[in-house]
């Protein structure tokens, strides 16, 4: 039989238990924040201030430290590891912060992200850059230079071949990135570079995301990769191309759906984009070759200025459907649908309006068109 004394004890026990839970929760909350120490020991300067700044438009100063004899120390907590800005007097740079104890050393005049030690993501970034320079950038840049030389010499066929090779070289960077993510699935840099290299491809984004560790998937860059990849699902290969409306030179609204029933090339461009104007010459050749076989082209301008777009249309004498996104480049919902980060950008649709290829140009585009016509 229970008595009052037992009830009092039980109430006290319950209060102690609740207090214990509160302490645990507070402890969990505190430990979930990212605690760090960032020390500086720089040559070539003695005094001033060091600022740790949040990235983005806000540029909010998070921490400040006095510099004495070239040395400073910033100690604190952040919501989570990520990319931040370190400003030392007039010099500033982005760097990855994911280490508990980090150091900034070296010559003040050469201050940069490579001056930071103790950040696993920053270290991996440096390793990746070295390999990418050797295996990708050197190859691609050489091909682009050869393309420009052929173009200047009036050798259009050779120029097309070099540009096709340069575009295919992008796969080298993807394979390199995939190898890195597989090898370092828990490193924050893996999530960061995966989001950058996936480009406009839902397929690449998903493949890279799936390689990340569960912890890295929940990191800032892991969440960003998933968000961007999910957004690209509406324009993934094999799915029906989402409909959109744009305005032609006469002011009439034109829908993508109105063009169904033909193999359709969507050419995203702008008057200010030199490579876009050059790409139109190649499209002109393909249009002449395939227009009688049911291949159509729709050029979608992302110009902010209606006048500049119309002037460029007049200069180019575009023989196919030419429209403009009323929202221009920065506010374009059409651009976001396809995840377009740079132009020229070409999308190929089959007769049913399904997406067959994205970001495809030159000889690769022609090969895909021939493949569709043979089906």
The DSSP annotation for 58-118 comes to: S--EEEEEEEETTEEEEEEEESS-EEEEEEETTEEEEEEE--SEEEEEEEGGG-SGGGEES
Cβ atoms of residues 278 and 148 within 8 Å: no
Strands (DSSP E) contained in the chain are 34-43, 47-53, 61-68, 71-78, 82-88, 91-97, 101-107, 116-117, 245-248, 253-255, 263-269, 295-301, 321-324, 345-349, 355-358
Distance between CA atoms of residues 206 and 174, nearest Å: 13
- Report the pLDDT value the prediction gives residue 74, as an integer from 0 to 100: 98
Supply 352's token pair.
């049913």
Cβ atoms of residues 120 and 188 within 8 Å: yes
Mean pLDDT of 17-37: 57
Q: Which residues contact 98 (CB under 8 A, 6 or more apart)?
A: 34, 81, 82, 119, 120, 121, 122, 188
Whether this model's pTM surpasses 0.85: no
Supply 246's token pair.
């744009």
45-64 pLDDT, tens digit each = 999 999 999 998 888 999 99
261-311 pLDDT, tens digit each = 999 999 999 999 999 999 998 899 999 999 999 999 999 999 999 999 999
Let me know the angle formed at the C-alpha of 160 by 203 and 270, rounded to the nearest 5 degrees.
70
Cβ atoms of residues 36 and 102 within 8 Å: yes
Report the run of H or E that residue 12 belongs to, with start and end: helix 4-32
- Report the pLDDT value the prediction gives residue 204, as an integer from 0 to 100: 96
84 pLDDT band (50/70/90 cuts)? very high
129-142 pLDDT, tens digit each = 999 999 999 999 99
Position 357 pLDDT exceeds 60? yes
Supply 49's token pair.
């201030």
Among 153-157, 321-325, 334-338, the minimum mean pLDDT is found in 153-157
Distance between CA atoms of residues 276 and 269, nearest Å: 6
Portion of the chain with pLDDT greater than 90, in percent? 81
197-254 pLDDT, tens digit each = 999 999 999 999 999 999 999 999 999 999 999 999 999 999 999 999 999 999 999 9
* Cβ atoms < 10 Å from Cβ of 175: 12
Give 240's DSSP letter.
B
- Report the pLDDT value the prediction gives residue 159, as an integer from 0 to 100: 87
Distance between CA atoms of residues 7 and 354, nearest Å: 71
26 pLDDT band (50/70/90 cuts)? very low
Position 2 pLDDT exceeds 80? no
> In whole angstroms, what separates CA 23 from the centre of its chain?
41
Position 4 pLDDT exceeds 70? no
Mean pLDDT of 327-336: 94
Architecture of domain 33-118: Sandwich (2.60)
- Residue among 322, 356, 350, 347 at smallest CA distance from 261: 350
Architecture of domain 245-373: 3-Layer(aba) Sandwich (3.40)
- Residue among 98, 100, 135, 131 at smallest CA distance from 113: 98
For the chain, domain boundaries: 33-118, 122-235, 245-373
Supply 29's token pair.
């909350």
Mean pLDDT of 11-30: 42
- Report the pLDDT value the prediction gives residue 18, as an integer from 0 to 100: 42
Distance between CA atoms of residues 173 and 196, nearest Å: 11
- Report the pLDDT value the prediction gives residue 22, as an integer from 0 to 100: 41
Q: How many helices (H) and strands (E) are present in the chain, helices listed first?
A: 13, 15
- Report the pLDDT value the prediction gives residue 273, as an integer from 0 to 100: 95
Let me know the angle formed at the C-alpha of 340 by 313 and 202, rounded to the nearest 5 degrees.
145
* Cβ atoms < 10 Å from Cβ of 84: 19
- Residue among 272, 275, 286 at smallest CA distance from 148: 275
- Report the pLDDT value the prediction gives residue 151, as an integer from 0 to 100: 86
344 prior amide bond cis, ω within 30: yes
How far does the chain reach from its first CA to its final CA, in angstroms?
86
1 pLDDT band (50/70/90 cuts)? very low
- Report the pLDDT value the prediction gives residue 24, as an integer from 0 to 100: 43
Supply 196's token pair.
């950058």
Distance between CA atoms of residues 138 and 57, nearest Å: 33
- Report the pLDDT value the prediction gives residue 6, as an integer from 0 to 100: 44
């Amino acid at each position: 039989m229970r008595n009052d004394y037992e009830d009092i004890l039980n109430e006290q026990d319950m209060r102690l238990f609740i207090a214990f839970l509160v302490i645990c929760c507070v402890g969990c909350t505190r430990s979930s924040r990212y605690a760090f120490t960032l020390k500086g020991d720089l040559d070539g300067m003695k005094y001033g201030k060091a600022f740790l700044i949040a990235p983005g438009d806000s540029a909010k100063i998070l921490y400040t430290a006095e510099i004495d004899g070239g040395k400073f120390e910033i100690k604190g907590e952040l919501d989570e590891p990520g990319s931040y800005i370190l400003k030392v007097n007039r010099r500033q740079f982005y760097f990855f912060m994911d280490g508990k104890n980090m150091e900034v050393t070296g010559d003040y005049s050469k201050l940069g992200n490579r001056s930071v030690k103790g950040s696993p993501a920053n270290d991996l970034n440096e390793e990746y850059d070295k390999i990418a320079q050797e295996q990708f950038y050197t190859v691609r840049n050489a091909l682009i230079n050869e393309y420009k030389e052929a173009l200047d010499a009036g050798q259009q066929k050779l120029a097309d071949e070099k540009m096709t090779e340069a575009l295919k070289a992008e796969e080298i960077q993807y394979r390199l990135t995939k190898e890195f993510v597989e090898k370092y699935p828990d490193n924050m840099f893996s999530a960061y570079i995966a989001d950058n290299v996936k480009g406009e491809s839902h397929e690449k984004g998903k493949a890279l995301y799936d390689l990340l560790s569960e912890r890295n998937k929940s990191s800032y860059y892991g969440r960003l990769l998933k968000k961007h990849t999910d957004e690209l699902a509406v324009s993934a290969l094999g799915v029906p191309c989402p409909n959109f409306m744009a305005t032609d030179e006469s002011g009439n609204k034109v829908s993508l759906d109105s063009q169904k029933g033909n193999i359709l090339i969507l050419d995203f461009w702008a008057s200010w984009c030199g490579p876009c104007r050059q790409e139109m010459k190649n499209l002109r050749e393909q249009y002449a070759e395939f227009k009688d076989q049911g291949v159509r082209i729709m050029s979608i301008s992302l110009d902010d200025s209606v006048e500049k777009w119309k002037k460029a249309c007049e200069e180019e004498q575009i023989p196919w459907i030419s429209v403009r996104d009323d929202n221009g480049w920065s506010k374009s919902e059409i651009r976001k649908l396809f995840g377009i980060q740079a132009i020229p950008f070409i999308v190929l649709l089959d007769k049913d309006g399904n997406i067959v290829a994205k970001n495809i140009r030159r000889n690769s585009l022609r090969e895909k068109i021939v493949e569709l016509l043979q089906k």
